[in-house]
Amino acid sequence: MDEHNFNQIMRPRKVCVCRSVDKKTLEEAVKNGARTLGQLTLQTGAARNCGTCLPQVIEILHDTLEQVEAAESGQEPLPFKKVENAIE
Ligand code: FES
């Protein structure tokens, strides 16, 4: 495998292609205080163009909020916990 192919494989996959936002950026934004979809999309720019990435952005918000809440409460995250008021 040459260097170009290696870099293509190892490069973080973009969740939002329109705004070039990857999963790690979205997770970090939630961990740093974004608690609603509106806050997350405003801070990162994700899902503010075509909207194709919106379901994945919502899923990342949901999953990361679970992790943050679990860490704050000292508990393990529940697999299907519903997040209230995640969409503004
Ligand atoms: S892919 Fe995210 S707004 Fe288009």
Residue 3's pLDDT band, with cuts at 50, 70 and 90, is confident
Nearest 5°: phi and psi at 18? -60, -40
Q: Is residue 7 in a domain?
A: no
Q: Which of the listed residues 50, 56, 57, 58 should we mutate to test ligand 1's pocket, taking the one with most ligand atoms within 8 A of CB?
A: 50
**Closest atom, ligand 1, to C-alpha of 21:** 2
pLDDT at 85: 62
Q: How many domains does the chain have?
A: 1
- Please give the pLDDT value at position 28: 97
- Reading the block at residue 20, the tokens are 């070039």
- What CATH number does the domain containing 28 carry? 1.10.10.1100
Q: With respect to residue 37, please indicate whether it lies within any of the assigned structural domains.
A: yes
Q: How far is the CA of 41 from the centre of ligand 1 (A)?
A: 10
Structure token pair of residue 3: 């260097």
User: How far is 55 from 43, CA to CA, in rounded Å?
Assistant: 17
Q: What is the pLDDT of residues 9-37, one digit of tens each?
A: 777 789 999 999 999 999 999 999 999 99
Average pLDDT over residues 56-62: 97
**For the whole model, what pTM was predicted?**
0.74
| Domain interval for residue 50 | 14-88
